[in-house]
């Protein structure tokens, strides 16, 4: 057996002799691209070259420069990251930078990067701070200086936020001004009329009931151009336009924020309730009431979901079933429509079930299994035939003079329509009178020139002015005539009367869905036999009725009563007295029904808007 002594020699990788031959690179950075900062960068480079003269043992191989980039994150600086990659390849063994804050303003980044470089055999020399990272106390001193640099970055961030608040208070316009419908001129917005017409068209189409996808297709069909001059539309473009308060004349702030002063990651603010709106000094493209109506429609078409402990808004398709739109459970949940069966006549019977029960189980099921029951319900599925029976009973009981009311609706429609037509005819007649007078002035000018009363130069100047005025009047007359022709064809009174008669015919087993849509706000099952109907049978008023159905389909009886103070499950505060005989209520009743009939007859929402 032999015994051997093995001596291990640790290689002297890090030679601390600063006067040895060094392969050096310079690193410089400025945080903005302002002219003063770039001039400072040139001074930095000159300063580095002077340092190279003081150290003849340095062989300068390269310079790494980051312009207009913050120092709080290393990964956002391309020149810095390239320098680290080159260090891994052993291209140099010394990095020279002026001070710690030029290298990084993040303490963690500074220590991590210098330790990584140390593993590659690369030393960092901070000239102003006289720190060599391979000195014994180099890391301690570097930690102190890096902490000071990070603290300075925090103070800069606070000053920036304070400056932004002052800018918001002063109504400063943010952004590049690249917004369709406006041109940015001298720090404010000026309407670009051609683009603004497209914006108005988008809001009009949205009010008419079109979704964002259909609006895209319609704009492409009409060859409308976007802000870049291309016929290229997407749902995201339409969504941004519909959400942009600039179009109603407001500046909107706080749409995004920075997560912290180190990462400086911009995060989109999804909570629109926290936005700050300031009235702008520019002309709006869309009236404020139109923007808010579109906003209300948009909210009805979206739903909020919890994603990663934050709320996200998603679009939802409006239900085509009128009962799904009106039903709300006493627990606050919506309903799901289930197919029950198909009867012998081939008719499908549906039932409506609380979504809370679908997803979490009924209150009784949860109690039986020892689960929390707070906020859950035991409401059984609601048959569609029960809702049809109660609706029929309510409207037959309340609206007894339907034929007389229909006559009043016809009268209201005709009066409104004839008044509009008369105003249009008067406007056309006024423009025709202006054209006649302008033509007379032109003839007088010709006569004056023929008699030598005015010179040739005067005649040409006055004739050009008169011809311009005459051309503008003829163009206006053409527009008015075209609009009058469109309005003449817009309302087919016979079709509207036929639609209204059909809607007000309650002899069938069901009530027309347009009537339900217009006059029923919400239906809430308060228990398994009683249902609360929240109605709007008078302008700006809500009333409640309790409906009850007993028995099986075909033999069921229906009872309705006014909602009283002693009834359980109060939902909202309403007028308890239901006055159905006043002229104001009847007029409102007729007008709303006529609007629905016009919409049905024309096939669009135009009937309601024109009425």
Mean pLDDT by 10 residues, the chain (611 residues): 43 60 87 53 76 87 79 70 90 88 76 86 87 81 75 71 67 70 83 90 89 90 88 89 87 70 67 76 88 85 54 62 88 86 82 87 84 82 89 83 72 63 66 82 82 82 84 81 57 69 78 84 87 77 80 82 55 37 46 55 43 38
Fold of 182-315: Hect, E3 ligase catalytic domain fold (3.90.1750)
CA dihedral 314, 318, 321, 322 (to 10 degrees): 110
> Residue 596: in which H helix or E strand, if any?
helix 583-602
- Dmax (CA) for the chain in angstroms is 143
CA dihedral 86, 87, 88, 89 (to 10 degrees): 60
Rg of the chain, C-alpha, whole Å: 38
Rounded Cα–Cα distance for residues 547 and 525 (Å): 9
- Residue 309's pLDDT is 43
Alpha-carbon torsion (450, 455, 456, 461), positive or negative: negative
> Which has the closest alpha carbon to 611: 600, 521, 596?
596
Rounded Cα–Cα distance for residues 238 and 202 (Å): 8
Rounded Cα–Cα distance for residues 608 and 592 (Å): 8
> Which has the closest alpha carbon to 386: 521, 556, 545, 563?
556
- Residue 199's pLDDT is 92
Homologous superfamily in CATH for domain 22-166: Resolvase, N-terminal catalytic domain (3.40.50.1390)
- Residue 597's pLDDT is 55
Task: For residue 199, count CB atoms less than 10 angstroms from its CB and return exposed for 0-12, middle for 13-18, buried for 19 or more.
Answer: buried
């Amino acid at each position: 057996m032999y015994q051997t002594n093995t001596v291990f020699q640790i290689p002297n990788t890090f030679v601390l002799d600063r006067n040895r031959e060094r392969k050096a690179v310079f690193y410089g950075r400025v945080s903005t691209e302002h002219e003063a900062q770039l001039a400072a960068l040139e001074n930095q480079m000159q300063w580095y070259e002077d340092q190279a003269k003081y150290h003849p043992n340095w062989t300068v191989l390269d310079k790494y420069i980051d312009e207009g980039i913050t120092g709080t994150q290393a990964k956002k600086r391309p020149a810095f990251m390239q320098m680290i990659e080159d260090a891994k390849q052993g291209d140099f063994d010394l990095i020279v930078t002026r001070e710690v804050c030029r290298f990084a303003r993040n303490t963690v980044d500074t220590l991590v990067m210098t330790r990584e470089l140390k593993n590659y055999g690369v030393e960092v020399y901070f000239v102003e701070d006289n720190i060599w990272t391979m000195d014994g106390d180099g890391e301690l001193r570097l930690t102190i200086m890096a902490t000071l640099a990070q603290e300075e970055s925090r103070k800069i961030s606070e000053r920036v936020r304070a400056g932004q608040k002052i800018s918001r208070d002063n109504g400063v316009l943010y952004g590049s001004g690249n917004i369709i419908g406006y041109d940015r001129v001298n720090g404010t917005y000026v309407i670009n009329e051609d683009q603004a017409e497209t914006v108005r068209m988008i809001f009009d189409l949205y009010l008419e009931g079109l979704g964002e996808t259909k609006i895209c297709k319609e704009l492409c069909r009409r060859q409308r151009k976007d802000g870049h001059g291309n016929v290229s539309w997407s749902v995201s473009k339409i969504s941004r336009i519909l959400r942009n308060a600039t179009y109603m004349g407001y500046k909107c702030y706080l749409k995004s924020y920075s997560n912290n002063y180190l990462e400086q990651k911009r995060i989109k603010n999804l909570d629109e309730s926290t936005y700050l709106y300031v009235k702008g000094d520019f002309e709006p493209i869309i009236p404020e009431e139109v923007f808010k109506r579109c906003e209300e429609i948009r909210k009805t078409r979206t739903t909020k979901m919890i994603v990663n402990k934050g709320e996200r808004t998603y679009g939802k398709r409006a239900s085509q079933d009128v009962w799904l739109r009106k039903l709300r459970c006493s627990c606050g949940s919506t309903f799901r429509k289930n197919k029950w069966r198909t009867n012998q006549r081939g008719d499908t019977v549906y039932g409506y079930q609380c979504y809370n029960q679908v997803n979490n189980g009924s209150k009784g099921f949860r109690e039986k299994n020892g689960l929390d029951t707070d906020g859950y319900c035991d409401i059984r599925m609601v048959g569609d035939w029960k809702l049809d029976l109660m609706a029929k009973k309510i409207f037959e009981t309340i609206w007894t003079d339907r034929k007389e009311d229909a006559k009043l609706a016809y009268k209201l429609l005709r009066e409104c329509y004839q008044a509009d037509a008369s105003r249009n005819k008067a406007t056309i007649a006024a423009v025709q009178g202006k054209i006649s007078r302008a033509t007379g002035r032109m003839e007088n000018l010709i006569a004056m020139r023929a008699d030598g009363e005015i010179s040739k130069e005067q005649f040409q100047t006055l004739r050009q002015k008169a011809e311009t005025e005459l051309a503008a009047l003829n163009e206006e007359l053409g527009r008015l005539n075209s609009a009058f022709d469109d309005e003449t064809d817009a309302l087919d009174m016979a079709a509207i009367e036929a639609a209204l008669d059909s809607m007000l015919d309650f002899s069938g087993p069901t009530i027309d869905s347009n009537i339900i849509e217009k006059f029923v706000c919400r239906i809430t099952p308060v228990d398994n036999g009683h249902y609360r109907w929240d109605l709007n049978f008078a302008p700006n008023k809500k009333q409640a009725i309790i409906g009850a159905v007993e028995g099986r389909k075909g033999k069921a009886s229906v009872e309705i009563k006014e909602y009283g103070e002693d009834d359980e499950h109060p939902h909202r505060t309403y007028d308890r007295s239901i006055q159905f005989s006043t002229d104001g209520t009847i007029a409102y009743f007729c007008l709303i029904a006529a609007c629905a009939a016009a919409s049905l007859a024309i096939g669009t929402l135009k009937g309601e808007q024109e009425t």
